Structure 1
Amino acid sequence: MHLSDQKSQLRISIDERLKHLNEQERSAESRSLCRRLTEGIPTGTPICAFFPMRSEPDITPFLEEVLHRADPLYLPCFDGILIFRQATDLSILVRGKLGTLEPPPTAATIANSKSQIANRLTILVPGRAFDPHGNRLGRGNGGYDKWIAEARKKGVSMRLIGVALECQIVDSVPVESHDEGMDAFATARGIHKCT
C-alpha cells in the first residue's frame, strides 16, 4: 500500500475513534489535558497554539490561562500559507478562510525568523494521530510542516508538542521526508517526551 493510502486509512480510523468518544469523555480528557499543559509549560514562554475545531481537544481553558499569565500567545491563520498572529483576547477571534477561529487580520504576526523570535517557542501542534516516536499525521495540507521547516532553516529554537486525545495516539504513523517530527506529545495523562 502506498504511503498516501496508509495515511488516508489512518485518518479514517482516527475519525471512527473520535466518533465513538462521547461528549463527556472528550470534555473530561480536554480538562485534564489543559491541566497538564499548564503544569508542563513554564510561565514566560511564548506559545504558538491553535483554537480547537470540534474534532480536536478543547484547549480553550489553557489558552485563557496563557493570556491570564500574560505570556505571548499566537494562533494560526491560513491565507494560502500558515502564519501565526498574536491573540490578546479570545472573544475577538474571527472566522478565517478555512472556517476556524483566528486573530483578526490587524493582529501582530510572528515571523518564523530567529531575529524576530528571541525566546524559544513552544508550539502546540494539532493533528489526526501521533506516535511515541514523534511522528504526526496532520490533515494533509502540510501547513504546519512547511512553517516548522522554514523556521528550522532560519535557526528558530522550538519545542514542538503534539496535542491529542488518548484515542489519537497510535503505535506508528506513516511519514514522508517532509513530515516534521514532534519533541513530545500531550494528552490527558501528561506531556510525553518522544523517543
Structure 2
Amino acid sequence: MSAKALLRRELLAARRLLTMEDVERAAAVLARHALGLPELAGARTVAAYVSVGREPGTRALLDALRARGVRVLLPVLLADNDLDWAPYEGTGNLAKAGRGLLEPTGGRLGPDAVLEADAVLLPGLAVDGRGMRLGRGGGSYDRVLARLAAAGAHPALIVLLYGDEVAARVPEEPHDRPVDAVVTPDGARRFGRGRGPAPVPRP
C-alpha cells in the first residue's frame, strides 16, 4: 500500500469516529473562520462542493456566501471522473447522485466554468505545513487544477479540514499543487510562497 493510501485509510477511519453532532458543530465554526479569509471576502465567484457524511461541513458556508451575493458553483461528476459545474441555488435544488454525492439540479455550465472562480474550495483529507493537500484519490480535482494551470488561472485554493488533519508532511507526487489556505475549527492558516504559514486572525 502506498504512503498516500495508508494515510487516507487512517484519516477516513478517524472521521468515522465523529458523531453527526460533532460534524454539525464544526461546520458552523468552519464557516465563520472561512468567511474571514480575505480570499473569500473579496470573491465574486467561488467554486465549492457539498460536503457529505462526516466530511468537514460546507453547507453553512455555501449559504453564507450565497447570502452575500457570491456566485457559488458546485461540481457535477462526469462519467470520466472530470467535473462539470452548475450554480448553487439553495439546498432545495440539490439531488442525490452517484457515490453518495449531492449535486445541483440547475443547468450545466461546462468544465471550464471553474476558470471564472476567484476561489476554489477543494475537498481533502489532510494538508501539511507547506500547503500540500492529500485528496481522496479519485483524481477529479487533479483535473480541475490542471485545467486552471493550463488556462493561466490562479484562484485562491482553500481546503476545509478538522484540526487533527493538519499533518507534519503529506506524501506528494509531481502533479500535486499546494493550496493557499486551510481552514479548521481552530482557525485559518494561509500559506505564503517562500515562507511559512501565516495565521489569520479569528473574526
Q: Which moved more, 1:94-103 or 1:68-77?
A: 94-103
Q: How does 1:9-158 map to 2 (within 5 A)?
A: 9-40=6-37, 41-79=40-78, 80=80, 81-104=82-105, 106-109=107-110, 111=112, 117=116, 121-158=118-155
Shift of residue 152, structure 1, vs aligned partner: 1.4
TM-score (norm 1): 0.87
Cα deviation 1:141-193 (Å, max 9, x = unaligned):
11111111111111112100111111221111101011222111111122211
Identity %: 24
State the superposition RMSD in angstroms: 2.0
Name whichever of 16-25 and 64-73 sits farther off: 16-25
Higher relative contact order (CA 8 A, sep 6+): 1
Task: Structure 2: state its 5+ residue gaps.
Answer: 197-203
Shift in Å at residue 110 of structure 1?
A: 6.1
Taking the aligned partners of 1:68 and 1:110, their CA distance within structure 2 comes to: 25
For 1:47 and 1:113, locate their aligned partners in 2 and report how far apart those are by CA, in whole Å. Answer: 8
Secondary structure at the aligned position of 2:89 is classed as: coil
Moved over 4 A (4+): none
Kept in 2: contact 1:86–1:109 (CA 8 A): no
> TM-score normalised to the size of structure 2?
0.84
CA 1:109–1:93 in 2, change beyond 3 Å: closer, same or farther? farther
Inter-partner Cα distance in structure 1 for 2:88 and 2:27 = 21
Q: Distance in 2 between matches of 1:113 and 1:44?
A: 13
Say how many residue pairs are matched: 188
Q: Secondary structure at the match of 2:92?
A: helix
Alpha carbons of structure 1 residues 192 and 100: separation in structure 2 relative to 1, 3 Å: same
Deviation of 1:43 after TM superposition, in Å, equals 4.9
- Displacement of 1:134 in angstroms is 0.9
Residue pair 1:37, 1:186 contacting (<8 A) in 2 also: yes
